């Protein structure tokens, strides 16, 4: 019988307690990886551990904005589960507001999680990956990083920074055999997305577009499910993508009309 695609791999997934992060953790575990599921809130990852059982999924609580905590949890994962082969950065926050109404705290916290958090995890993990001369990193960005969005300046800017950081890291690590890629979702049915919906017609406006906010719709006519994003991540961390690095894969149903 053929071994599962990611059998023998150790994966660290941030933001694994809900939404896209949870879907990624499930997708990798279902493909045979041992998953260290990391989240600031322990409840979601603890539930995953109970469902799958350790070491298939092991729960860890840490805040990616705290570099010391990230370094500590990476060391613990490597000691308890094994050398990390896969890192998926999913932890993120969204604080929508027009620029004139953005507070200093909104701006700084958005970058602390979405950008600096990616730096913390990548630095801690890829130091080890490069020494072992193997590994794969995927940062979950956003199509908002490439297309302006009203009331999303902080989020879009933070995701654009994380995207370019990941590509630069991929260039630095390429000769060591470590690959670094980005998956950029569009509108996805998560708690983060639903906080933007203020009335029952909001999902329809996402699909059909909203001229008042200069936003086109989704050509495929559906809002993504978290599993759609997880499938793209699972591909990029697998050997099927062994010659792909510094790539930004948009998974948005065609919403950005990318050439």
Contact 11, 33 (CB under 8 A): yes
Q: Among candidates 89, 135, 111, which has minimal Cα distance to 229?
A: 89
Candidates 52, 155, 214, 250; catalytic one: 155
Q: DSSP assignment, residue 144?
A: G
What is the token pair recorded at 14? 């941030």
Residue burial 153-181, b: 16+ Cβ < 10 Å; e: rest: bbbbbbbbbbbebbbebbeebeeeebbbb
- Return contacts of 107-110, CB within 8 angstroms, 24+ apart: 107/154, 110/154, 110/155, 110/158
The alpha-helical segments, DSSP class H, found in 81-224 are: 104-111, 117-132, 153-173, 191-194, 202-208
Catalytic (active site) residue 250: no
Alpha-carbon distance of 5 to 23, in angstroms, equals 17
**Sole residue written with tokens 């613990």:** 76
Alpha-carbon distance of 160 to 141, in angstroms, equals 8
Q: Which residues are CB-neighbours of 90 under 8 A, at least 6 positions away?
A: 13, 14, 15, 16, 19, 20, 21, 24, 140
Q: How many CA atoms lie within 13 A of 234 on its CB side?
A: 25
DSSP bridge pairs for 59: 37
Active site residue ranges? 155
């Amino acid at each position: 019988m053929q071994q599962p695609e990611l059998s023998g791999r150790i994966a660290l997934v941030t933001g694994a307690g809900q939404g896209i992060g949870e879907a990624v953790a499930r997708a990798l575990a279902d493909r045979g990886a041992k998953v260290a599921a990391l989240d600031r809130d322990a409840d979601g990852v603890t539930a995953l551990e109970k469902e799958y059982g350790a070491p298939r999924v092991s729960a860890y609580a840490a805040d990616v904005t705290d570099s010391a905590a990230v370094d500590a949890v990476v060391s613990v994962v490597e000691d308890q589960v094994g050398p990390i082969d896969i890192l998926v950065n999913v932890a993120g926050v969204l604080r929508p507001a027009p620029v004139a109404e953005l507070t200093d705290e909104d701006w700084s916290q958005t970058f602390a999680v979405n950008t600096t958090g990616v730096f913390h995890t990548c630095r801690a993990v890829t130091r080890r990956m490069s020494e072992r001369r193997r590994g794969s990193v995927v940062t979950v960005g956003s199509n908002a990083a490439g297309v302006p969005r009203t009331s999303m300046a902080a989020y879009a800017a933070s995701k654009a920074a994380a995207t370019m950081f990941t590509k630069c890291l991929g260039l630095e690590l390429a000769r060591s055999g470590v690959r670094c890629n980005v998956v950029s979702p569009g509108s996805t049915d998560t708690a983060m997305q639903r906080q933007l919906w203020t009335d029952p017609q909001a999902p329809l406006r996402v699909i059909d577009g909203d001229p008042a906010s200069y936003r086109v719709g989704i050509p495929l006519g559906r809002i993504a499910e978290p599993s759609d994003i997880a499938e793209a991540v699972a591909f990029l961390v697998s050997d099927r993508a062994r010659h792909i690095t510094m790539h930004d894969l948009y998974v948005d149903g065609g919403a950005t009309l990318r050439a």
